[in-house]
Amino acid sequence: MEQVNGDTLAAARKVIAVHINYPSRASQRGRTPAQPSYFLKPSSSLSLSGGTVERPAGCELLGYEGEIALVIGKAARRVSIEDAWSHVAAVTASNDLGVYDLRYADKGSNLRSKGGDGFTPVGPALIPADAVDPAKLRIRTWHNGHLVQDDTTEDLLFPFARLVADLSQLLTLEEGDIILTGTPAGASVATPGDVLEVEVSTVDLSSSDGGLTTGRLATTVEEGTTAFADFGARPMVDDVQREEAYGSREAAGLAPVDEAPGAGAAVGPALSPELKAKLESVATATLSSQLRKRGLNNVSIDGLQATRPDRKVVGLARTLRYVPNREDLFKTHGGGFNAQKKAIDSVNEGEILVMEARGEKGTGTVGDILALRAQVRGAAAIITDGGVRDFTAVAGLEMPTYFSNPHPAVLGRRHIPWDTDITIACGGATVQPGDIIVADSDGILVIPPAIAEELADDCIRQEKEETFIFEMVQQGNSVDGLYPMNTEWQARFAEWEAGKHND
């Protein structure tokens, strides 16, 4: 059989792809279209078998979809369904690759998410269309040698002839154009180093004539090294895209919706607007003294600096723990939708993500893209006792980040992101999910939620007393007996306070 070559790719002026066409995929997606819908892929996305595809730098979700590709043999314009198949020259294997990280930016066009160079490998062989029954073809996909897709064209939602006829109603299908006909269930996500293989064949390869096959279309995934420029859309994903890319929440490593931290409920007791306002009104120095009166002397997160030292931050803690890097464990826990990304992508409005990095300053624990994602989700702040990458960009965000130092290195140098929403240590303090974090220019405090209301009220009273004492010292009074106040000064304070209320 003829092999797909450079001439085949050069002849394709258009690459047209169908969204959903296999019942198994429709069931997985939870929607069955009444009519076919399409999108265009640039001809520059075409590539040959045996090549590589780049997962762009900063992207997480490179999705693969094994598909049967139709190669148009003669121009088709307003053809009937009965005549449509005669306009197809051959079928071959294809892999409809794309990055879910950019779907948000495409408004449904899929141009950036699925149009990258090398995102449409085809081949290796062409099966003549007149030698097969289009309803008796088989499509299979292997991911690192494991069969992950296996379906036939027997019960397609939209048979191939219907696709050709439908498209030809409005546009001319030209010789060499390629139509990708949809993918069955089982499509998922590939990471750098993975090998993807797709094969199209007649249903019965064991028939007397041996059947027909394209052979396996092989593509190896590589990690991109060139970052996206800041003048265009940058990669961004959430749990919805992860579920779409992997095919299910379970396959993506996500908790069921009713258990997921990002499902709407904050971790721990609610921080009421009234309590939050009280805590925002008092200084951490005052809170620290009141905590000390209650025997809590080890509740400050120490040794960090802030990107926004002028900000006052109050919120509930979410936690993330890093453990020291061990190369074999980093392979299983460091890539993909790891604990770091889970923590970032489940933080809720007003929550503060606190990271345990063991005070290790020799690598970054968060960079600009993940910090931006936390800000987009409404996080009040990020606190880490490790380093920060992309410092200038992180410092430019509205959301404050508290950190030990800038550092250019990535996680794998010193850390593995291990687990989330557990008790951790950060900057010398123990932090539990649901603890209340208060941070200002004086420092960062961890407040047990059970005492927060009483603590806030006592702090407000203390600050009123200190305002009175400050005024008395300004008037020339000695601090002896005034600071702290003895009985006489307490009485005078009561009169001063009553006067304030009457003003």
Tens-place pLDDT, residues 170-194: 999 999 999 999 999 999 999 999 9
Q: Reply yes or no on whether the pLDDT at 269 is more than 90.
A: no
Of 204-218, 250-264, 476-490, the poorest mean pLDDT is in 250-264
Under 8 Å between Cβ of 106 and 40: no
Q: What is the mean pLDDT of residues 218-225?
A: 94
Mark whether 381 and 239 lie in a shared domain: no
Mark whether 79 and 201 lie in a shared domain: yes
Q: Reply yes or no on whether the pLDDT at 265 is more than 60.
A: no
In the chain, the amino acid numbered 302 is: D
Evaluate whether residue 200 is within a structural domain: yes
pTM value > 0.85:
no
Peptide bond into 484 cis (omega under 30): yes
SS3 assignment, position 230: coil
Q: What is the pLDDT of residue 259?
A: 47
Evaluate whether residue 260 is within a structural domain: no
Q: What is the pLDDT of residue 243?
A: 86
Peptide bond into 23 cis (omega under 30): no
Under 8 Å between Cβ of 234 and 99: no
pLDDT tens column, 332-356: 888 777 889 889 988 988 999 999 9
Mark whether 200 and 93 lie in a shared domain: yes
User: How many whole angstroms separate alpha carbon 227 and alpha carbon 230?
Assistant: 9
Evaluate whether residue 476 is within a structural domain: yes
User: Pairing mode, if any, of strands 387-388 and 405-406?
Assistant: parallel
pLDDT > 70: what percent of the chain? 95
**Residue 323, domain extent:** 266-450
Of 61-75, 198-212, 250-264, 318-332, the poorest mean pLDDT is in 250-264
Q: What is the pLDDT of residue 206?
A: 52
Under 8 Å between Cβ of 67 and 183: yes
User: Pairing mode, if any, of strands 15-18 and 38-41?
Assistant: antiparallel
Evaluate whether residue 44 is within a structural domain: yes
Mean pLDDT for the chain overall? 90
pLDDT tens column, 420-466: 999 999 999 999 999 999 999 889 999 999 899 999 999 998 999 88
- Please give the DSSP secondary-structure letter assigned to residue 249: T
CATH number assigned to the domain comprising residue 145: 3.90.850.10
Q: What is the pLDDT of residue 84?
A: 97
**Nearest residue to 96 via CA among 241, 245, 224:** 245
Residues linked to residue 217 through DSSP beta bridges, in sequence order:
198
Evaluate whether residue 474 is within a structural domain: yes
Evaluate whether residue 165 is within a structural domain: yes
Annotated binding site for Mg(2+): 390
Q: What is the mean pLDDT of residues 257-274?
A: 55
Evaluate whether residue 255 is within a structural domain: no
Q: What angle, 0 to 180 degrees and rounded to 10, lies between the N-to-C axes of helices 452-474 and 273-281?
A: 30
Mark whether 227 and 273 lie in a shared domain: no
pLDDT > 90: what percent of the chain? 72
Q: What is the mean pLDDT of residues 471-478?
A: 92
Q: What is the pLDDT of residue 406?
A: 95
SS3 assignment, position 223: strand
C-alpha angle 208-50-143 in degrees, rounded to nearest 5: 75
Under 8 Å between Cβ of 245 and 252: yes
- The number of domains in the chain is 3
Q: What is the pLDDT of residue 90?
A: 97
Under 8 Å between Cβ of 137 and 200: yes
CB atoms under 10 Å from CB of 403, counted, come to 27
Evaluate whether residue 261 is within a structural domain: no
Both tokens of residue 407? 């550092």
CATH number assigned to the domain comprising residue 443: 3.50.30.40
H/E element, 7: helix 6-11
Both tokens of residue 430? 């123990």
Annotated binding site for substrate: 367-370, 389
